């Protein structure tokens, strides 16, 4: 099977995007895993674009382990930019598993997407039992075996936990990530973020992404981190979230809705042979 596809990324968080509006086929889990495998094509997530008669398109996200992802902020921004270049429209609406998301094309490969109001109730995360989602009191240990206890849970289309620490490099996220992702408290697993508040307008982060592992950037993690930091009164309503390759700017409006702004890459056409 020969498939025409696209490769894009947001701050290194990379995607293979397949437009199914004109290609009528289904991919099974093994094929999705193969496409995401970095010894083949390679990406953090596979994105499928599907027809929608009322809005610009439906999009589906799949993690590199073949599992479904309810939301992907950087992926949404990339698809919005792709469809904008196709249609010339400066506002793109996409239907995802977590709801309808509107994006504004700002020019110079800069795209802003409204992610929506974060969910903070324990049942909405979801958690397996009732706890204070502002402080789950989960223990992580740094490289010097010093304990840190905390964790704020947020759902922004998928579940996240954010640990605010003094030094994100002091922790081995490669080891911590899968343990917290699969913690019994999270029946749908979770994304794991280590966050250091630099000042009230800047947070540095490292992210372990549910179903994908360590990632260079994660849009929903940036949104969840900014929301958690606001809940804990650590930052202003607009703050930059710093990843290794650049920043996403997260703003929380008067309705408590989250807006994510940042760059997307140029579009690369690729051929996939399965």
- Please provide the DSSP assignment of 244-267 as one string: TTEEEEEEE-TT--EEEEEE-PPP
Collect all residues with Cβ–Cβ distance below 8 Å to 24 and sequence separation of at least 6.
none
The catalytic residue among 36, 78, 190, 218 is: 218
Verify whether residue 218 is a known catalytic residue: yes
Residue 52 annotated as binding site:
no
Taking CA 68 as the corner, what is the angle to CA 64 and CA 72, rounded to the nearest 5 degrees? 80
Residue 45 labelled as part of a binding site: yes
Contact by Cβ (8 Å): 56, 91: no
Which residues, at least 6 apart from 34, have a Cβ–Cβ distance to it below 8 Å?
Answer: 40, 274
Q: Which of 72, 78, 190, 223 is catalytic?
A: 72
Residue 199 is assigned to a ligand binding site: no
Please tell me whether 209 is known to bind a ligand.
yes
190 is catalytic: no
Instruction: List strand residue ranges (DSSP E) for the chain, in order.
Output: 2-10, 13-19, 45-50, 57-63, 68-69, 91-96, 99-107, 110-116, 138-141, 147-150, 152-155, 159-164, 191-199, 202-209, 213-215, 238-243, 246-252, 258-263, 268-273
d(CA 169, CA 151) in angstroms, rounded, equals 17
The answer to whether the annotation marks 108 as part of a ligand binding site is no
Determine whether the annotation assigns residue 158 to a binding site: yes
| Residue 191, marked binder | yes
Look at the block and give the residue holding tokens 């905390």: 150
**Which residues, in sequence order, are bridge partners of residue 97?**
none
Annotated binding residue at 210?
Answer: yes
Binding positions for substrate are 13, 45, 63, 73-74, 158, 191, 209-210, 219-220
- Residues marked active site are found at 72, 218
Residues that constitute the known binding site = 13, 45, 63, 73-74, 158, 191, 209-210, 219-220
């Amino acid at each position: 099977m020969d498939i025409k596809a696209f490769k894009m990324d947001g701050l290194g968080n990379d995607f293979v995007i397949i437009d199914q509006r004109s290609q009528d086929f289904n991919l099974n889990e093994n094929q999705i895993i193969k496409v995401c495998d970095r010894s083949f094509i390679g990406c953090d997530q596979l994105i499928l674009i599907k027809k929608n008669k009322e809005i610009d398109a439906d999009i589906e996200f799949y993690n590199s382990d073949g599992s479904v992802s309810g939301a992907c902020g950087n992926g949404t921004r990339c698809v919005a930019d792709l469809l904008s270049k196709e249609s010339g429209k400066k506002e793109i609406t996409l239907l995802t598993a977590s709801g309808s998301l509107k994006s504004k094309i700002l020019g110079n490969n800069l795209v802003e997407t409204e992610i929506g109001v974060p969910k903070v109730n324990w049942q909405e995360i979801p958690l397996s039992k009732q706890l204070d989602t502002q402080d789950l009191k989960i223990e992580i240990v740094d490289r010097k075996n010093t304990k840190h206890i905390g964790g704020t849970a947020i759902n922004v289309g998928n579940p996240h936990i954010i640990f605010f620490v003094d030094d994100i490099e002091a922790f081995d996220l490669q080891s911590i990530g899968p343990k917290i992702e699969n913690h019994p408290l999270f029946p749908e697993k979770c994304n794991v973020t280590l966050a250091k508040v630099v000042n009230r307008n800047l947070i540095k982060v490292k992210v372990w992404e549910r179903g994908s592992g360590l990632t260079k950037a994660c849009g929903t993690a940036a949104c969840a981190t900014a929301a958690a930091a606001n809940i804990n009164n650590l930052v202003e309503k607009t703050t930059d979230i710093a990843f290794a390759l650049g920043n996403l700017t997260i703003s929380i409006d008067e309705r408590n809705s989250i807006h994510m702004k940042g760059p997307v890459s140029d579009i690369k056409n690729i051929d996939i042979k399965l």
